[in-house]
Chain A
Amino acid sequence: KNQVEQSPQSLIILEGKNCTLQCNYTVSPFSNLRWYKQDTGRGPVSLTIMTFSENTKSNGRYTATLDADTKQSSLHITASQLSDSASYICVVSAAGGGSQGNLIFGKGTKLSVKP
């Protein structure tokens, strides 16, 4: 069964600190992996998309890594800001048809950045 699991469920850090969010997946055949940021009550916004051949991708202070062998990804946030407080969702796209429209969503990690 295609699944995406994220950890931790929630995280509290102080402003200015770094943090790393984890995503493990069992999706086959794999197409790509995405990270989204969702502010409370808003629509998710794409941060990065990585294909099988990409190990690292950055978007400002956000850096995503992908290990296709171990089926793990991480999202590293550097020098956190209060505006980073949000849910971060890992989404894996399966190649070919699937019951979820090819996209399998994790439940998200809720990050709170405190001053």
Chain B
Amino acid sequence: DSGVTQTPKHLITATGQRVTLRCSPRSGDLSVYWYQQSLDQGLQFLIQYYNGEERAKGNILERFSAQQFPDLHSELNLSSLELGDSALYFCASSVVLAGRAGELFFGEGSRLTVL
């Protein structure tokens, strides 16, 4: 158990819909990362937050947005869903920013299926 909790574990929805994925980082970790992993593909970095502030952005679509709340949990919002958005979405947390990422702990992912 990494200590990172992601909900829901599985989600099936239709094209055009909007979903919210939730991540609770490990206790004490201030940094949260979101990654997308399509079938048999590598992990694609989406966005990073540190203590409530956006710190880095990857290839995140404009239809996607995220935020980190004062209690440090984070949410990834996916809207106007397309078939190609079907993937595993991972959240990871780490404790150190300061120019380098500390030990990264991943959640078990949220599997999104868009029909």
Contacts from A to B (Cβ < 8 Å)? 31-32, 34, 36, 41-46, 49, 89, 91, 93, 95-103, 105-108
Binding site for A on B (CB under 8 A): 2, 4, 33, 41-43, 45, 47-48, 55-58, 88, 90, 92, 99-101, 103-109, 111
**Whole-angstrom distance between the alpha carbons of A43 and B88 in the complex?**
9
Q: In angstroms, how far is the closest chain A Cβ from the Cβ of B86?
A: 14
Report which of B33, B56, B104 forms a contact with A99, defined as CB distance below 8 A: B56
Instruction: Name the residue on A nearest B48 (C-beta).
Output: A101
* A-chain residues with CB within 8 Å of residue B105 when the two chains form the complex: 46
B84 to chain A, nearest CB (A): 18
B109 and A97 form a contact (CB under 8 A):
no
Bound complex: CA A16 to CA B14 (Å): 46
Q: Is the CB of A101 within 8 A of B101?
A: yes
* Beta-carbon contact of B99 and A102 below 8 Å: yes
From the candidates B4, B41, B90, B100, name the one contacting A93 in the complex (CB within 8 A): B100
> Interface SS of chain A: helix, strand, loop or mixed?
loop
The answer to whether B42 touches A103, judged by C-beta atoms less than 8 angstroms apart, is no
Contact of B99 among A96, A99, A106 (CB under 8 A): A96
**Chain B residues whose C-beta falls within 8 Å of the C-beta of A101 in the assembled complex:** 33, 45, 47-48, 55-56, 58, 101
With known contacts A96-B99, A102-B101, A41–B58 Cβ distance under 8 A: no
Asked whether, in the complex, the Cβ of A105 is within 8 Å of the Cβ of B42, the reply is: yes
